[in-house]
Amino acid sequence: MKFEIPHPLKVEHEELHESLRRATKENGELGEAARAVAGLLHPHFIKEEEYALPPLGLLRDLAGGRVTPDMKDVLGLTDRLKAELSQMLAEHKSIVAALERLSEAAKKAGKMEYAEFAEALMLHAKTEEEVLYPASILIGEYVREKLGLR
């Protein structure tokens, strides 16, 4: 079974990538800080889109009481997220530190749109840590329980 990242999350990731892409084209300290963020963020986003966020595509069905045997395929994704969660959170710390530098550089350059972007991305990381990652892990546990795969 194929698991799709919910459309609003996919769009949000695309918008964040686009804002960062624009920032990387800036000169000086601002551009350097943005490129540092991009270097950390790109591999992290790949992991999220590969296994951390796709399980969330099951939420609507699960909330509606629909659990099917082919949903067991989500367990590979959620088990991987659970196993790699501490690494994902460590990556967030590095990304947030780089975003703080980006925010400072943007403020010095008078480019408040990039400071606002950095703040938005820091909030996005918090949302993932406190809501999205735990929800993905719970989806796996719920599917495992409902399918009697304990």
Helix ranges (H only) for 25-50 are 28-47
**Cβ within 8 Å of residue 115, ≥6 positions away:** 102, 103, 106, 107
pLDDT for 113:
97
pLDDT for 4:
96
pLDDT for 150:
77
* Cβ pair 147, 71 in contact under 8 A: yes
Q: Which of 12, 5, 27 is nearest to 106 (CA)?
A: 27
pLDDT band at 11 (very low <50, low <70, confident <90, very high): very high
pLDDT by residue (tens digit) across 114-144? 999 999 999 999 999 999 999 999 999 999 9
pLDDT by residue (tens digit) across 91-111? 999 999 999 999 999 999 999
The distance in angstroms from the start CA to the end CA of the chain is 20
Percentage, residues of the chain above pLDDT 70: 100
Q: Summarize the confidence of residues 12-30 as an average pLDDT.
A: 96
* pTM, entire model: 0.95
Question: Could you state, in order of their start, the residue ranges of all structural domains in the chain?
Answer: 7-145
pLDDT by residue (tens digit) across 57-83? 999 999 999 999 999 999 999 999 999
pLDDT for 1:
87
pLDDT for 85:
98
Q: Summarize the confidence of residues 17-40 as an average pLDDT.
A: 97
